[in-house]
Structure 1
């Protein structure tokens, strides 16, 4: 594997590492600091999620090898053709345009209004009643973070509860039994399958690399480790600092939850940039300027 391919895989793995399942849910799990055996439970979640992604990747690689063995010459001719590169360039530009589009659609405005309404309801609930169980630790951590950042504790707790939404109750329920925790990891992985553009791109790069299947599987295992790396760093930080990390974890957990609705856009933009770079590089690369010139001439 050449250095450029390795760099592309690392970039894609780091993009994958910032998803809801690989970063945000582990962080919210770590906010449940009062949970007995939290380290073991978070470790189980990350192991199951990593295993899910690895198994899915092996299936993609195996299927890709079957296609290459049966239709290898045709596939290579297609990928190297100018038409395929033009198509990749067009898709890449479309992804970039989508990624940098503003949240001004009617659906986005409705989602923002609903999020604000949920925050107000959570704030009112925090004033009226008390919360019990492992979830209270996360809310308290969010409150401490908000207080340090200058927000009122109730506001910080409401924001954290609002961004977690239904995931908060799912996480609290999953922490009660190992089976439920395994289920949470699988559900998180399955929900992200339709939007796994970086993972699909990485699988395609591995299949097209020409490396033996065993080497590709080992590389895929390394890819999955990189995917889990930010969550593992957070895990280690929590185990090392304990309650001293509450303020930082609460603030980051709230911010990441708020930005998750826009995560698909920046992922699409990065994948689009990589697609444009591939389509316009190499001996058979096409120029972006030529692409627009052809459009305007029609």
Structure 2
């Protein structure tokens, strides 16, 4: 298990922590008037983390089976060059989402309405978390990138499971920090949450661009390390 792999996974998890399901909705739940109900937000975050973890296990074991069928073809230099090209493509594509088109604001506002209009029962919160995660399955590029790194890492199953669990924990860690701060210092954290909410609504149009760009960079970095491109440049 290399340091480069751990750093790449941590970076991708932090990118994933800024999605609608992992940050936006928790912020809106924390902005509800009155004392925050710890179990309410914890139920939501636990559900979305478990959902991602289970999806990750399914995709990993499916991807591992495919890799075995290909006889290690995904871990040779042509495949790594393909990974490098994919990362570059994602990074270039990210510049198409500059936030000036304003297409993401309405979608985010609809999610805010869903998060704040329901009741506070555990069943509703679990349903909201699953619905948010399902809606993001098609765009969970950082998570798919992390699973790709794990599939080609030659790690044992226990290590992969532990890393997936750690990834999901890091993914909800910013929301957990905000939850702890909201419980401990409600008057101090409420203005910060309000500013964060305003930033979410204002910047939602460019959020996908940031996700694509950072995910592309991390995928490129992993491929470059495994291709030893940095060593080649240093020795020139």
Q: Highest CA radius of gyration, 1 or 2?
A: 1
Shift of 1:104: 8.0
| Contact kept? 1:20, 1:260, Cα under 8 Å | no
Shift of 1:3: 1.2
Q: 2:124 aligns with which of 180, 186, 189?
A: 180
**RMSD, aligned α-carbons:** 2.6
* Aligned counterparts of 2:151 and 2:82: Cα–Cα separation in 1: 20
Shift of 1:273: 1.6
- DSSP 3-state at the match of 1:165: helix
Give the number of the structure with larger relative contact order, counting CA–CA contacts within 8 Å between residues 6 or more apart: 2
Shift of 1:164: 5.4
Distance change >3 Å, CA 283–CA 27, structure 1 → 2: closer
Does residue 263 of structure 1 match 2:221?
A: no
Distance change >3 Å, CA 281–CA 246, structure 1 → 2: closer
Distance change >3 Å, CA 42–CA 93, structure 1 → 2: same
| Contact kept? 1:16, 1:227, Cα under 8 Å | yes
Gaps of 5+ in 2: none
* Aligned counterparts of 1:215 and 1:91: Cα–Cα separation in 2: 26
Which residue is equivalent to 1:98? 93
Gaps of 5+ in 1: 116-161, 290-298
Which residue is equivalent to 1:24? 24
Q: 1:77 aligns with which of 42, 48, 73?
A: 73
Please say which of residues 53-62 and 175-184 is displaced more in the overlay.
175-184
* Aligned counterparts of 1:172 and 1:283: Cα–Cα separation in 2: 48
Q: 1:89 aligns with which of 62, 81, 84?
A: 84
| Contact kept? 1:12, 1:199, Cα under 8 Å | yes
* Aligned counterparts of 1:245 and 1:277: Cα–Cα separation in 2: 36
Does residue 65 of structure 1 match 2:64?
A: yes
* Aligned counterparts of 2:34 and 2:26: Cα–Cα separation in 1: 15
| TM-score calculated relative to the size of structure 2 | 0.87
Written as runs of structure 1 = structure 2, the 5 A alignment for 1:9-20 is 9-20=9-20
Which residue is equivalent to 2:221? 277
Shift of 1:41: 0.7
* Aligned counterparts of 2:62 and 2:97: Cα–Cα separation in 1: 37
Distance change >3 Å, CA 78–CA 5, structure 1 → 2: closer
Which residue is equivalent to 1:159? none
Q: 1:189 aligns with which of 130, 133, 156?
A: 133
| Contact kept? 1:80, 1:284, Cα under 8 Å | no
